[in-house]
Structure formats: structure tokens, C-alpha cells
């Protein structure tokens, strides 16, 4: 059936963090907006679920560091509007060899933009964070503005704000067909909608929606193992003990970064994960682990054993998250080449899924 005769200013497909913020800003600008989500909210099938993410200004790419200045202001504004704390400043500690070009680039970028940071030599690092074991003379770069973003709380606040501003959020409505035109028609499993513009922010499901529209983006969808490691002494790696988020650039057997957040999401457990995963269809995310999944966890176990002596080297909980990456790791934001009123946002995971 057709949902009345209303033509929305915009329909947004996908209620992850990108889709929610898109709908929120449209509603703030007095646009009539409908946000569609295929699963019932909240859910854990995509990339935005879970209690915590890292937020930071420390990036290799200069333009991300510039963008984050505005991002921090937007998060602070949302906190003020909702009267809800959505982030906690813990600092982000980046570990690497002194001569690591990536570490040097990040330090130069932070300095160029006046971001509060501190370089920590090996001895200073040991004194400041005695429960980190340095195995190969690593040094530290502390982005003092970094911290923990409360992801699930942020989604809830945004969805409430969209409704409060007059927007509509409909969950459990999977899109089955998109008919380009003016207006564009979006059919779901239960009804049909029309809008002046369509914004697709569907994460790992993006290409499924784009294929009937004649394009496919070079996106890689990965299943990530999100692991939680028990503290030997409760609270030893917690925010209350001034432990920061961290990002390890250098590991002899890990070609990708390893990152962690202070314990707190689960009492007595610290989230530490590998910033990469294995190719996976989003519809088969919860299939039994492949051998490559086990290898990723083994890499993390060795890292925990070697660098974090006050953690047990076996994870107590392992969850899954989907990444959607572009070939160069940067996000894609553009109009459909044929249909000017269809906008696509995708490939945000390399910088966003657990590291914002």
C-alpha cells in the first residue's frame, strides 16, 4: 500500500550512526524526513551497535584531523540538546617505534592543528602507564583530546531527537525496491514512500540497494571479532585508574592496527580488537568462525600476553561487527551518476567502526 500522499523532502535508508546523523540534521533544517531501518531497533547486525567507540583527532590524514574539530563541536551540541553525556575524555595513546613514519606523520598533523598532545619516551611511558609492557622499545604519542564515545546511547539520543524535531523513524522495514524519478519511490516490505531525495547509508548492504540502480561500489564487507579480555585485578585498566584508549601501530605479526578501550563496557573486561577482519556477507555474519577468524584472535592473544600483563590472555567474550571499507580506506559520499537526487554514503568503517 502507499503511505498516504505525502512526498518527503528526504528518505534516509539505514539507521546506523551515519543515517541517524543525516536524518537529524535534515530535521533540524526543517526538512520532512523519513528514516528507514530494515531491523527492529536497537539491533546488533551492522556497524554502529555496542556501547563504545574511540573518538580522536589523531589521524595520518590531515583532512580527518581538520574535520574532527567540527565533529567534537557537533557531539558537544548534541550532548547539550539531549542533556546526555555521550563521550568521556580518556586520551588516546598511540604506541609505535620512534622511527615509525606513521607515528611521525600523526605527531606532525597534531602539531600543525594545535591539538593538545604529548610525546612519551619509553621510560616516561613506563612510568605513566606501568601496566603496559614495552617489548621493543616503543614510544608513545598521547592525543589528549581522544576518548570513549558511547555509541548505543548516541544512536538512541539521535533517534529521539529526529522524532522530537518532527521526523519519522520506522524500523523493521526492509527496502525491497527503489524507483528513481522525481519524486523517487522507495518500497519496503510493508508500504511505499515518495521523496524529493533519497540518501542511502546502508553500510554492508549498500551494494544490494545499488545493484538494481545500475552501479556497484568497490566496497569490501568484513566481519570483525570484537573481543573482551578479563582483568586479573578488577579495574586495573579502567578509566577510574586513568587508563586511556590505545592504538598500537607496531606488532611483529599483525599487519593491521590493534586498538583497545578502558574496561567498563562489561565490568572487569577490556575491549581489545584487531582493526581488520575477514570477507563476509552481512546476511551470514553469525556463521561459525573460519580459520582466519581464529588467527585474528591468536594475534590479539599474543599482543595481550606481551603488552598487557594484568589481563588474562584469552578473551571472555567475543562479539561480531561488520566493517564496510573502500579501496583507499576513505569514505564515499556522492550522488548517483545518473539520478541526481539519490545520494550515497558508504565505506565509513576504516576510520569509524571502532575508531572515530
Alpha-carbon distance values, 319 to 54, 67, 286, 322 (Å): 17, 30, 9, 11
Enter the DSSP assignment of 47: S
Q: If you average pLDDT over residues 227-237, what whole number do you get?
A: 96
Q: Kindly compute the dihedral angle of the four CA atoms of residues 265, 271, 276, 278, in this order, to the nearest 10 degrees.
A: -80
Peptide bond into 42 cis (omega under 30): yes
DSSP H/E element including 106: helix 101-112
Pick from 15-29, 37-51, 77-91, 214-228: least confident:
37-51
Q: Categorise residue 105: left if φ over 0, alpha if ψ from -120 to 50, beta otherwise.
A: alpha
Q: 252 vs 223, which has greater pLDDT?
A: 223
Residue-wise pLDDT tens digits, 176-200: 999 999 999 999 999 999 999 999 9
Q: What's the pLDDT tens digit per position in 75-132?
A: 999 999 999 999 999 999 999 999 999 999 999 999 999 999 999 999 999 999 999 9
**β 139-143/117-120 pair status:** antiparallel
| The three cell numbers locating residue 19 | 543515517
DSSP 204: G
Q: Given CA atoms 70, 74, 75, 79 in this order, what sign does their dihedral have? A: positive
pLDDT, position 289: 57
Report how far residue 185's alpha carbon sits from residue 200's, in angstroms, rounded to the nearest whole number: 13
How far apart (Å, rounded) are the C-alpha atoms in residues 143 and 117? 5
Q: Calculate what percentage of the chain has a pLDDT beyond 90.
A: 79
> What's the pLDDT at 351?
56
Predicted confidence (pLDDT) at residue 330 exceeds the cutoff of 80: yes
Amino acid at each position: 500500500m502507499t503511505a498516504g500522499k505525502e512526498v518527503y523532502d528526504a528518505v534516509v535508508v539505514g539507521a546506523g550512526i551515519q543515517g541517524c546523523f543525516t536524518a537529524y540534521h535534515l530535521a533540524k533544517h526543517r526538512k520532512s524526513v523519513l528514516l528507514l531501518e530494515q531491523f527492529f531497533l536497537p539491533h546488533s547486525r551492522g556497524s554502529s551497535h555496542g556501547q563504545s567507540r574511540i573518538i580522536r583527532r589523531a589521524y595520518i590524514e590531515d583532512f580527518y584531523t581538520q574535520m574532527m574539530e567540527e565533529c567534537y563541536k557537533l557531539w558537544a551540541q548534541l550532548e547539550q540538546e539531549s542533556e546526555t553525556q555521550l563521550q568521556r575524555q580518556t586520551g588516546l595513546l598511540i604506541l609505535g617505534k620512534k622511527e615509525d613514519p606513521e607515528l611521525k606523520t600523526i605527531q606532525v598533523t597534531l602539531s600543525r592543528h594545535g591539538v593538545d598532545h604529548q610525546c612519551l619516551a619509553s621510560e616516561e611511558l613506563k612510568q605513566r602507564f606501568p601496566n603496559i609492557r614495552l617489548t621493543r622499545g616503543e614510544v608513545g604519542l598521547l592525543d589528549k583530546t581522544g576518548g570513549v564515545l558511547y555509541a548505543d546511547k548516541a544512536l538512541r539520543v539521535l533517534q529521539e531527537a529526529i522524532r522530537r524535531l518532527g521526523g519519522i523513524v520506522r524500523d523493521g522495514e526492509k527496502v525491497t525496491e527503489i524507483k528513481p524519478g522525481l519524486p523517487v519511490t522507495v518500497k519496503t516490505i510493508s508500504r511505499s514512500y515518495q521523496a524529493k531525495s533519497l540518501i542511502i547509508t546502508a553500510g554492508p548492504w549498500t551494494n544490494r540497494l545499488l545493484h538494481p540502480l545500475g552501479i556497484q561500489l568497490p566496497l569490501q564487507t568484513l566481519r570483525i571479532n570484537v573481543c573482551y579480555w578479563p582483568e586479573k585485578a578488577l579495574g586495573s585498566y579502567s578509566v577510574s585508574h586513568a587508563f586511556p584508549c590505545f592504538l598500537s601501530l607496531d606488532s611483529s605479526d599483525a599487519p593491521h592496527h590493534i586498538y583497545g578501550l578502558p574496561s567498563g563496557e562489561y565490568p572487569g573486561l577490556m575491549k581489545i580488537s584487531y582493526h581488520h577482519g575477514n570477507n563476509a556477507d552481512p546476511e551470514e555474519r553469525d556463521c561459525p568462525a573460519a580459520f582466519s577468524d581464529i588467527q585474528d584472535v591468536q594475534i590479539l592473544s599474543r599482543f595481550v600476553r606481551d603488552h598487557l600483563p594484568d589481563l588474562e590472555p584469552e578473551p571472555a567474550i567475543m562479539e561480531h561487527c561488520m566493517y564496510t571499507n573502500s579501496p583507499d580506506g576513505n569514505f564515499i559520499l556522492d550522488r548517483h551518476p545518473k539520478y541526481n537526487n539519490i545520494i550515497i554514503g558508504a565505506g565509513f568503517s576504516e576510520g569509524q567502526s571502532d575508531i572515530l
